[in-house]
Amino acid sequence: MDPGGAVNGGEEPCRNSERTERIRNMDARSKQLFEAAREHIPGGVNSPVRAFGAVGRTPRFIESAKGDRIVDVDGNEMIDYVCSWGPGILGHAHPRVIKKVQEACEAGLTYGAPTQREVELAALIAELIPSMEVSRLVSSGTEAVMSAIRTARGYTKRDRIIKFKGCYHGHSDGLLVKAGSAALTTSVPDSAGVPADYSKNTLVASYNDRSSVEAIFRAEPDGIAAVIVEPVAANMGVVLPEPGFLEFLREITLQYGALLIFDEVITGFRLALGGAQEYYGVVPDLTTLGKIVGGGMPIGAYGGRREIMKMVSPDGPVYQAGTLSGNPIATAAGLETLRILKEDASVYARLDKKAEQIASAVRKAAGESVCVNHVGSLLSIFFAPGRVRSYEEAASSDTARYADYFGYLLDRGIYVAPSQFEAMFLSDAHTPEDVEYTCRVMQEYFSEKKGARG
Ligand code: KE4
Protein backbone atom coordinates (compact mmCIF):
# COMPACT_ATOMS: atom_id res chain seq x y z
CA MET A 1 0.00 0.00 0.00
CA ASP A 2 1.34 3.41 -0.86
CA PRO A 3 2.23 5.12 2.40
CA GLY A 4 0.37 8.13 1.17
CA GLY A 5 -2.68 5.93 1.18
CA ALA A 6 -2.46 5.44 4.91
CA VAL A 7 -3.10 9.10 5.28
CA ASN A 8 -6.51 8.84 3.74
CA GLY A 9 -7.55 5.46 4.97
CA GLY A 10 -5.65 3.25 2.61
CA GLU A 11 -7.13 3.94 -0.80
CA GLU A 12 -4.75 4.83 -3.63
CA PRO A 13 -3.23 8.22 -2.89
CA CYS A 14 -4.86 10.85 -5.05
CA ARG A 15 -2.68 13.58 -6.41
CA ASN A 16 -5.12 16.39 -6.24
CA SER A 17 -4.69 19.53 -4.18
CA GLU A 18 -7.72 18.60 -2.05
CA ARG A 19 -5.84 15.61 -0.61
CA THR A 20 -2.64 17.58 -0.24
CA GLU A 21 -4.65 20.20 1.62
CA ARG A 22 -6.08 17.50 3.85
CA ILE A 23 -2.58 16.17 4.57
CA ARG A 24 -1.37 19.65 5.38
CA ASN A 25 -4.17 19.88 7.90
CA MET A 26 -3.19 16.49 9.20
CA ASP A 27 -0.33 17.87 11.22
CA ALA A 28 -2.69 19.44 13.75
CA ARG A 29 -1.46 17.31 16.66
CA SER A 30 2.18 17.88 15.69
CA LYS A 31 1.45 21.61 15.67
CA GLN A 32 -0.05 21.39 19.16
CA LEU A 33 2.90 19.40 20.49
CA PHE A 34 5.40 21.73 18.84
CA GLU A 35 3.72 24.67 20.57
CA ALA A 36 3.84 22.90 23.91
CA ALA A 37 7.42 21.70 23.33
CA ARG A 38 8.69 25.22 22.87
CA GLU A 39 7.56 26.01 26.39
CA HIS A 40 10.24 23.87 27.97
CA ILE A 41 12.66 22.78 25.23
CA PRO A 42 14.94 25.12 23.23
CA GLY A 43 13.29 25.50 19.82
CA GLY A 44 10.90 22.74 20.85
CA VAL A 45 13.37 20.01 19.92
CA ASN A 46 16.28 18.14 21.43
CA SER A 47 18.44 18.51 18.36
CA PRO A 48 18.23 21.56 16.08
CA VAL A 49 17.74 19.94 12.68
CA ARG A 50 14.53 18.28 13.94
CA ALA A 51 12.78 21.66 14.11
CA PHE A 52 12.31 21.71 10.30
CA GLY A 53 13.62 25.29 10.34
CA ALA A 54 15.21 24.92 6.93
CA VAL A 55 12.06 23.63 5.22
CA GLY A 56 9.36 25.85 6.70
CA ARG A 57 7.03 23.09 7.87
CA THR A 58 5.85 21.94 11.29
CA PRO A 59 8.09 19.15 12.52
CA ARG A 60 6.31 15.82 12.60
CA PHE A 61 6.16 14.38 16.13
CA ILE A 62 6.66 10.65 15.69
CA GLU A 63 4.60 8.09 17.57
CA SER A 64 5.99 4.79 16.27
CA ALA A 65 8.14 3.19 13.60
CA LYS A 66 8.44 -0.27 12.07
CA GLY A 67 10.53 -1.40 9.13
CA ASP A 68 10.87 1.48 6.68
CA ARG A 69 7.80 3.33 7.98
CA ILE A 70 7.32 5.94 10.68
CA VAL A 71 3.92 7.09 11.90
CA ASP A 72 3.40 10.57 13.32
CA VAL A 73 0.98 11.67 16.03
CA ASP A 74 -1.63 12.62 13.40
CA GLY A 75 -1.57 9.11 11.98
CA ASN A 76 0.40 9.99 8.83
CA GLU A 77 2.40 6.93 7.82
CA MET A 78 5.57 7.85 5.93
CA ILE A 79 8.47 6.06 4.28
CA ASP A 80 11.48 7.01 6.38
CA TYR A 81 14.73 8.00 4.64
CA VAL A 82 16.16 9.71 7.74
CA CYS A 83 16.48 6.40 9.64
CA SER A 84 17.25 8.37 12.80
CA TRP A 85 20.21 9.96 10.91
CA GLY A 86 21.86 6.63 10.29
CA PRO A 87 21.38 4.05 13.05
CA GLY A 88 18.44 2.46 11.29
CA ILE A 89 20.32 0.41 8.70
CA LEU A 90 18.12 -2.64 9.45
CA GLY A 91 14.93 -0.59 9.53
CA HIS A 92 12.97 0.31 12.64
CA ALA A 93 12.22 -2.16 15.44
CA HIS A 94 13.97 -5.17 13.91
CA PRO A 95 12.40 -8.13 15.78
CA ARG A 96 15.73 -9.72 16.74
CA VAL A 97 17.08 -6.43 18.10
CA ILE A 98 13.89 -5.70 20.03
CA LYS A 99 13.96 -9.19 21.54
CA LYS A 100 17.55 -8.78 22.75
CA VAL A 101 16.74 -5.35 24.21
CA GLN A 102 13.66 -6.70 26.00
CA GLU A 103 15.67 -9.57 27.45
CA ALA A 104 18.42 -7.18 28.54
CA CYS A 105 15.88 -4.90 30.24
CA GLU A 106 14.64 -7.80 32.35
CA ALA A 107 18.16 -8.06 33.79
CA GLY A 108 18.33 -4.40 34.79
CA LEU A 109 19.06 -1.21 32.89
CA THR A 110 22.50 -0.19 34.08
CA TYR A 111 25.14 -1.34 36.54
CA GLY A 112 28.10 1.04 36.22
CA ALA A 113 30.25 -2.06 36.13
CA PRO A 114 31.83 -4.12 33.34
CA THR A 115 29.70 -6.72 31.56
CA GLN A 116 30.30 -9.61 29.16
CA ARG A 117 28.54 -7.85 26.32
CA GLU A 118 31.08 -5.02 26.41
CA VAL A 119 33.84 -7.60 25.94
CA GLU A 120 31.91 -9.17 23.06
CA LEU A 121 31.21 -5.83 21.38
CA ALA A 122 34.83 -4.65 21.60
CA ALA A 123 35.96 -7.97 20.12
CA LEU A 124 33.38 -7.74 17.30
CA ILE A 125 34.39 -4.16 16.49
CA ALA A 126 38.04 -5.28 16.30
CA GLU A 127 37.04 -8.18 14.04
CA LEU A 128 34.98 -6.04 11.65
CA ILE A 129 37.28 -3.00 11.74
CA PRO A 130 40.77 -4.45 12.31
CA SER A 131 42.37 -1.02 12.78
CA MET A 132 40.28 -0.72 15.96
CA GLU A 133 42.33 -3.29 17.81
CA VAL A 134 41.41 -1.59 21.09
CA SER A 135 38.29 0.55 21.56
CA ARG A 136 36.42 2.38 24.27
CA LEU A 137 32.62 2.66 24.34
CA VAL A 138 31.01 6.01 25.11
CA SER A 139 27.46 7.32 24.72
CA SER A 140 27.48 9.43 21.57
CA GLY A 141 29.43 10.26 18.46
CA THR A 142 30.34 13.62 19.97
CA GLU A 143 31.88 11.91 22.96
CA ALA A 144 33.74 9.46 20.73
CA VAL A 145 35.27 12.25 18.64
CA MET A 146 36.13 14.42 21.64
CA SER A 147 37.89 11.46 23.27
CA ALA A 148 39.71 10.39 20.11
CA ILE A 149 41.14 13.87 19.68
CA ARG A 150 42.26 13.99 23.30
CA THR A 151 43.92 10.61 22.82
CA ALA A 152 45.66 11.80 19.64
CA ARG A 153 46.98 14.86 21.47
CA GLY A 154 48.12 12.74 24.40
CA TYR A 155 49.87 10.28 22.10
CA THR A 156 51.62 12.83 19.86
CA LYS A 157 52.12 15.49 22.57
CA ARG A 158 50.96 18.03 19.99
CA ASP A 159 48.00 20.41 20.30
CA ARG A 160 46.76 21.38 16.84
CA ILE A 161 44.23 19.41 14.80
CA ILE A 162 42.99 19.84 11.25
CA LYS A 163 39.33 19.44 10.35
CA PHE A 164 37.53 20.17 7.09
CA LYS A 165 35.00 22.91 6.43
CA GLY A 166 31.55 21.38 6.15
CA CYS A 167 32.48 18.22 8.01
CA TYR A 168 30.64 17.81 11.30
CA HIS A 169 32.05 15.81 14.18
CA GLY A 170 29.59 16.51 16.98
CA HIS A 171 29.32 19.54 19.20
CA SER A 172 32.47 19.50 21.37
CA ASP A 173 33.81 23.04 21.73
CA GLY A 174 37.06 22.58 19.83
CA LEU A 175 35.22 21.36 16.75
CA LEU A 176 32.63 24.12 16.51
CA VAL A 177 35.03 26.31 14.56
CA LYS A 178 35.37 27.91 11.17
CA ALA A 179 38.39 29.16 9.31
CA GLY A 180 39.70 32.41 10.67
CA SER A 181 40.84 35.32 8.50
CA ALA A 182 44.35 33.89 8.31
CA ALA A 183 42.86 30.49 7.52
CA LEU A 184 46.18 28.67 7.60
CA THR A 185 46.98 29.48 11.15
CA THR A 186 43.74 30.60 12.79
CA SER A 187 40.19 29.51 13.27
CA VAL A 188 37.36 31.17 15.14
CA PRO A 189 34.41 29.78 17.07
CA ASP A 190 31.43 28.74 14.98
CA SER A 191 29.06 28.83 17.92
CA ALA A 192 28.30 31.28 20.68
CA GLY A 193 29.72 30.18 23.99
CA VAL A 194 32.94 28.76 22.59
CA PRO A 195 35.89 30.82 23.86
CA ALA A 196 38.33 31.87 21.14
CA ASP A 197 40.98 30.02 23.11
CA TYR A 198 39.18 26.75 22.47
CA SER A 199 39.23 27.19 18.72
CA LYS A 200 42.81 28.30 18.22
CA ASN A 201 44.10 24.72 18.13
CA THR A 202 41.71 23.64 15.39
CA LEU A 203 42.75 24.54 11.85
CA VAL A 204 40.32 24.29 8.96
CA ALA A 205 41.15 22.88 5.53
CA SER A 206 38.93 22.33 2.49
CA TYR A 207 37.53 18.89 1.75
CA ASN A 208 38.98 17.37 -1.43
CA ASP A 209 41.55 20.20 -1.62
CA ARG A 210 45.00 18.71 -1.08
CA SER A 211 46.81 22.05 -1.31
CA SER A 212 44.83 23.42 1.66
CA VAL A 213 46.10 20.53 3.79
CA GLU A 214 49.68 20.78 2.50
CA ALA A 215 49.76 24.50 3.29
CA ILE A 216 48.77 23.93 6.92
CA PHE A 217 51.35 21.20 7.42
CA ARG A 218 54.02 23.38 5.85
CA ALA A 219 53.07 26.17 8.27
CA GLU A 220 53.04 23.80 11.26
CA PRO A 221 55.29 20.83 10.40
CA ASP A 222 55.63 19.66 14.01
CA GLY A 223 52.41 20.99 15.47
CA ILE A 224 49.62 18.83 14.14
CA ALA A 225 48.38 16.04 16.41
CA ALA A 226 45.78 14.74 13.99
CA VAL A 227 43.70 15.25 10.90
CA ILE A 228 40.05 14.32 11.44
CA VAL A 229 37.87 13.67 8.41
CA GLU A 230 34.54 12.15 7.48
CA PRO A 231 35.84 9.68 4.88
CA VAL A 232 32.61 10.40 3.02
CA ALA A 233 31.38 13.84 4.00
CA ALA A 234 27.70 13.50 4.89
CA ASN A 235 27.05 16.67 6.87
CA MET A 236 27.21 19.10 3.98
CA GLY A 237 25.01 16.71 2.10
CA VAL A 238 26.88 13.68 0.74
CA VAL A 239 30.18 14.70 -0.84
CA LEU A 240 32.44 11.85 -1.91
CA PRO A 241 36.21 11.89 -1.50
CA GLU A 242 37.86 12.59 -4.84
CA PRO A 243 40.00 9.66 -6.06
CA GLY A 244 43.21 9.59 -4.05
CA PHE A 245 42.15 12.17 -1.46
CA LEU A 246 41.95 9.72 1.45
CA GLU A 247 45.22 8.09 0.36
CA PHE A 248 46.76 11.58 0.30
CA LEU A 249 45.61 12.23 3.88
CA ARG A 250 47.08 8.90 4.93
CA GLU A 251 50.45 9.77 3.36
CA ILE A 252 50.75 13.34 4.55
CA THR A 253 49.87 12.46 8.15
CA LEU A 254 52.52 9.73 8.14
CA GLN A 255 54.99 12.16 6.61
CA TYR A 256 54.49 14.75 9.36
CA GLY A 257 53.97 12.38 12.30
CA ALA A 258 50.30 13.29 12.76
CA LEU A 259 47.53 10.76 13.34
CA LEU A 260 44.71 10.24 10.84
CA ILE A 261 41.27 9.99 12.46
CA PHE A 262 38.37 8.67 10.37
CA ASP A 263 35.11 9.89 11.81
CA GLU A 264 32.96 6.92 10.80
CA VAL A 265 29.97 7.81 12.95
CA ILE A 266 27.89 7.73 9.76
CA THR A 267 29.96 5.51 7.44
CA GLY A 268 30.87 2.87 10.05
CA PHE A 269 29.13 -0.43 9.23
CA ARG A 270 27.14 1.50 6.59
CA LEU A 271 29.41 1.70 3.55
CA ALA A 272 30.65 -1.81 4.26
CA LEU A 273 30.83 -4.14 7.23
CA GLY A 274 34.27 -2.61 7.84
CA GLY A 275 33.08 0.92 7.13
CA ALA A 276 34.65 3.44 4.76
CA GLN A 277 38.14 2.24 5.59
CA GLU A 278 37.22 -1.16 4.11
CA TYR A 279 35.26 0.41 1.24
CA TYR A 280 38.14 2.71 0.18
CA GLY A 281 41.05 0.59 1.46
CA VAL A 282 42.60 3.38 3.53
CA VAL A 283 43.43 2.60 7.15
CA PRO A 284 43.40 5.43 9.72
CA ASP A 285 45.17 5.47 13.09
CA LEU A 286 41.99 6.13 15.06
CA THR A 287 38.33 5.66 14.18
CA THR A 288 35.21 7.04 15.79
CA LEU A 289 31.86 5.27 15.62
CA GLY A 290 28.27 6.01 16.60
CA LYS A 291 24.76 5.41 15.26
CA ILE A 292 24.78 1.85 13.82
CA VAL A 293 27.19 0.54 16.50
CA GLY A 294 24.39 1.17 19.00
CA GLY A 295 21.61 -0.24 16.83
CA GLY A 296 19.46 2.77 17.70
CA MET A 297 20.52 3.03 21.32
CA PRO A 298 23.06 5.60 22.63
CA ILE A 299 26.53 4.25 21.87
CA GLY A 300 29.66 5.90 20.49
CA ALA A 301 33.07 4.30 20.30
CA TYR A 302 36.64 5.31 19.53
CA GLY A 303 39.58 3.05 18.94
CA GLY A 304 42.75 2.24 17.13
CA ARG A 305 46.09 0.50 17.48
CA ARG A 306 46.95 -0.80 20.97
CA GLU A 307 50.04 1.43 21.22
CA ILE A 308 47.80 4.51 20.82
CA MET A 309 44.86 3.33 22.91
CA LYS A 310 47.08 2.33 25.81
CA MET A 311 47.25 6.08 26.44
CA VAL A 312 43.64 5.93 27.69
CA SER A 313 42.89 5.76 31.43
CA PRO A 314 43.24 3.62 33.44
CA ASP A 315 46.07 2.22 31.29
CA GLY A 316 47.47 5.63 30.48
CA PRO A 317 47.34 9.35 31.23
CA VAL A 318 44.49 10.37 28.89
CA TYR A 319 41.43 10.64 31.07
CA GLN A 320 37.94 9.75 29.80
CA ALA A 321 34.98 8.28 31.67
CA GLY A 322 31.20 7.82 31.41
CA THR A 323 28.41 6.68 33.70
CA LEU A 324 26.49 4.90 30.94
CA SER A 325 29.45 3.88 28.78
CA GLY A 326 28.89 0.29 27.65
CA ASN A 327 25.31 0.38 28.93
CA PRO A 328 23.92 -3.19 28.94
CA ILE A 329 20.76 -2.31 27.00
CA ALA A 330 22.69 -0.37 24.36
CA THR A 331 25.29 -3.12 23.94
CA ALA A 332 22.46 -5.65 23.49
CA ALA A 333 21.05 -3.56 20.63
CA GLY A 334 24.45 -2.82 19.11
CA LEU A 335 25.71 -6.39 19.25
CA GLU A 336 22.57 -7.85 17.67
CA THR A 337 22.60 -5.23 14.92
CA LEU A 338 26.23 -5.93 14.01
CA ARG A 339 25.64 -9.69 14.19
CA ILE A 340 22.72 -9.43 11.74
CA LEU A 341 24.85 -7.35 9.35
CA LYS A 342 27.74 -9.81 9.68
CA GLU A 343 25.50 -12.81 8.98
CA ASP A 344 24.39 -11.45 5.63
CA ALA A 345 27.07 -9.34 4.01
CA SER A 346 24.94 -9.24 0.82
CA VAL A 347 22.92 -6.57 2.62
CA TYR A 348 25.36 -3.96 1.30
CA ALA A 349 24.74 -4.88 -2.30
CA ARG A 350 20.98 -4.67 -1.65
CA LEU A 351 21.32 -1.25 0.01
CA ASP A 352 23.51 0.08 -2.80
CA LYS A 353 21.04 -1.16 -5.43
CA LYS A 354 18.11 0.63 -3.80
CA ALA A 355 20.05 3.87 -3.47
CA GLU A 356 21.24 3.59 -7.08
CA GLN A 357 17.62 3.08 -8.20
CA ILE A 358 16.58 6.35 -6.56
CA ALA A 359 19.69 8.18 -7.80
CA SER A 360 19.08 7.05 -11.40
CA ALA A 361 15.39 7.93 -11.26
CA VAL A 362 16.16 11.45 -10.08
CA ARG A 363 19.02 11.98 -12.55
CA LYS A 364 16.71 10.86 -15.37
CA ALA A 365 13.84 13.13 -14.31
CA ALA A 366 15.76 16.19 -13.12
CA GLY A 367 18.67 16.18 -15.57
CA GLU A 368 21.27 18.89 -14.99
CA SER A 369 19.06 20.88 -12.58
CA VAL A 370 20.31 18.84 -9.65
CA CYS A 371 23.42 16.94 -8.64
CA VAL A 372 22.90 13.51 -7.13
CA ASN A 373 25.80 12.18 -5.06
CA HIS A 374 25.51 8.53 -4.10
CA VAL A 375 27.75 6.00 -2.39
CA GLY A 376 26.52 2.75 -0.86
CA SER A 377 23.28 3.49 0.98
CA LEU A 378 23.96 7.21 1.31
CA LEU A 379 22.79 9.80 -1.16
CA SER A 380 22.02 13.49 -1.48
CA ILE A 381 20.13 15.43 -4.11
CA PHE A 382 21.76 18.85 -4.36
CA PHE A 383 19.65 21.57 -5.92
CA ALA A 384 22.75 22.87 -7.60
CA PRO A 385 23.83 22.52 -11.22
CA GLY A 386 26.93 20.54 -12.17
CA ARG A 387 28.95 18.47 -9.75
CA VAL A 388 29.21 18.94 -5.96
CA ARG A 389 32.69 17.99 -4.77
CA SER A 390 33.38 20.66 -2.17
CA TYR A 391 31.77 22.57 0.65
CA GLU A 392 31.52 25.70 -1.51
CA GLU A 393 29.71 23.83 -4.28
CA ALA A 394 27.36 22.20 -1.73
CA ALA A 395 26.73 25.56 -0.07
CA SER A 396 25.71 27.05 -3.42
CA SER A 397 22.60 24.81 -3.48
CA ASP A 398 19.20 26.43 -3.77
CA THR A 399 17.79 25.66 -0.32
CA ALA A 400 14.41 27.16 -1.21
CA ARG A 401 14.02 24.58 -4.00
CA TYR A 402 15.10 21.89 -1.55
CA ALA A 403 12.40 23.02 0.89
CA ASP A 404 9.78 22.88 -1.89
CA TYR A 405 10.92 19.34 -2.81
CA PHE A 406 10.86 18.32 0.85
CA GLY A 407 7.24 19.53 1.29
CA TYR A 408 6.09 17.79 -1.90
CA LEU A 409 7.49 14.49 -0.68
CA LEU A 410 6.24 14.94 2.88
CA ASP A 411 2.70 15.56 1.64
CA ARG A 412 2.91 12.25 -0.23
CA GLY A 413 4.15 10.21 2.68
CA ILE A 414 7.91 10.35 2.05
CA TYR A 415 10.09 11.59 4.91
CA VAL A 416 13.54 12.79 3.87
CA ALA A 417 16.02 14.97 5.76
CA PRO A 418 14.58 18.42 6.52
CA SER A 419 17.79 20.03 5.29
CA GLN A 420 19.71 20.15 2.03
CA PHE A 421 22.88 19.51 3.99
CA GLU A 422 22.05 16.09 5.35
CA ALA A 423 22.03 12.63 3.80
CA MET A 424 19.27 10.36 2.58
CA PHE A 425 19.66 6.94 4.26
CA LEU A 426 18.49 3.58 2.90
CA SER A 427 17.81 0.60 5.15
CA ASP A 428 17.46 -3.11 4.55
CA ALA A 429 13.79 -2.68 5.39
CA HIS A 430 13.00 -0.38 2.44
CA THR A 431 10.73 -2.53 0.28
CA PRO A 432 10.91 -2.60 -3.52
CA GLU A 433 7.34 -1.21 -3.59
CA ASP A 434 8.26 1.73 -1.34
CA VAL A 435 11.43 2.48 -3.31
CA GLU A 436 9.37 2.31 -6.54
CA TYR A 437 6.76 4.66 -5.07
CA THR A 438 9.50 7.04 -3.94
CA CYS A 439 11.05 7.08 -7.42
CA ARG A 440 7.64 7.72 -8.97
CA VAL A 441 6.88 10.66 -6.68
CA MET A 442 10.35 12.14 -7.20
CA GLN A 443 10.00 11.82 -10.97
CA GLU A 444 6.57 13.48 -10.81
CA TYR A 445 8.05 16.32 -8.80
CA PHE A 446 10.86 17.02 -11.21
CA SER A 447 8.61 16.64 -14.25
CA GLU A 448 6.10 19.09 -12.78
CA LYS A 449 8.91 21.51 -11.98
CA LYS A 450 10.33 21.18 -15.47
CA GLY A 451 6.85 21.85 -16.81
CA ALA A 452 6.52 24.85 -14.52
CA ARG A 453 9.80 26.24 -15.82
CA GLY A 454 8.61 25.60 -19.32
P1 KE4 B 1 26.17 12.36 17.97
O2 KE4 B 1 26.80 13.10 19.14
O3 KE4 B 1 25.00 13.12 17.38
O4 KE4 B 1 25.82 10.91 18.31
O5 KE4 B 1 27.27 12.23 16.82
C6 KE4 B 1 27.91 13.40 16.36
C7 KE4 B 1 28.44 13.13 14.96
C8 KE4 B 1 29.78 12.86 14.80
N9 KE4 B 1 30.29 12.61 13.58
C10 KE4 B 1 29.50 12.60 12.48
C11 KE4 B 1 30.12 12.33 11.14
C12 KE4 B 1 28.12 12.87 12.59
O13 KE4 B 1 27.34 12.89 11.48
C14 KE4 B 1 27.56 13.14 13.85
C15 KE4 B 1 26.10 13.48 14.04
N16 KE4 B 1 25.29 13.45 12.88
C17 KE4 B 1 24.11 14.29 12.90
C18 KE4 B 1 23.42 14.19 11.54
N19 KE4 B 1 24.19 14.64 10.47
C20 KE4 B 1 23.21 13.89 14.01
C21 KE4 B 1 21.81 14.42 13.89
C22 KE4 B 1 21.57 15.60 14.79
O23 KE4 B 1 22.55 16.35 15.05
O24 KE4 B 1 20.42 15.75 15.24
> What are 298-345's pLDDT values in tens digits?
999 999 999 999 999 999 999 999 999 999 999 999 999 999 999 997
Beta-strand ranges (E) seen in 120-264 are 134-138, 160-164, 177-179, 187-189, 202-205, 224-229, 259-263
Choose between 250 and 450: higher pLDDT: 250
pLDDT of res. 25: 58
CA distances from 374 to 382, 387, 433 (A): 11, 12, 21
Active site residue 168: yes
Q: Averaged over 189-203, what is the pLDDT? A: 91
Helices (H), 181-312: 196-199, 210-219, 245-256, 275-280, 306-309
Is the CB of 263 within 6 Å of ligand 1? yes
Domain annotation for the chain: domains and CATH numbers: 13-80+346-453 (3.90.1150.10), 95-343 (3.40.640.10)
343-390 tens-digit pLDDT:
997 999 999 999 999 999 999 999 999 999 999 999 999 999 889 999
139-176 tens-digit pLDDT:
999 999 999 999 999 999 999 999 999 999 999 999 99
> Would the pLDDT of 22 be above 80?
no
pLDDT band (50, 70, 90) for residue 452: low
Active site residue 348: no
Q: List the Cα angle 431/432/434 in 5-degree steps.
A: 65
Is the CB of 238 within 6 Å of ligand 1? no
pLDDT of res. 14: 39
Residue 71's CB: how many other CB atoms inside 10 A? 18
C-alpha of residue 265 to centroid of ligand 1, in Å? 7
pLDDT of res. 449: 83
In this structure, the residue with its CA closest to atom 6 of ligand 1 is 170
Residue 181's CB: how many other CB atoms inside 10 A? 8
Residues 6 or more apart whose CB falls under 8 angstroms from that of 158 comprise: 222, 223, 224, 225, 258
Residues 6 or more apart whose CB falls under 8 angstroms from that of 70 comprise: 62, 64, 77, 78, 80, 92, 415
In the chain, % of residues over pLDDT 70? 93
In the chain, % of residues over pLDDT 90? 88
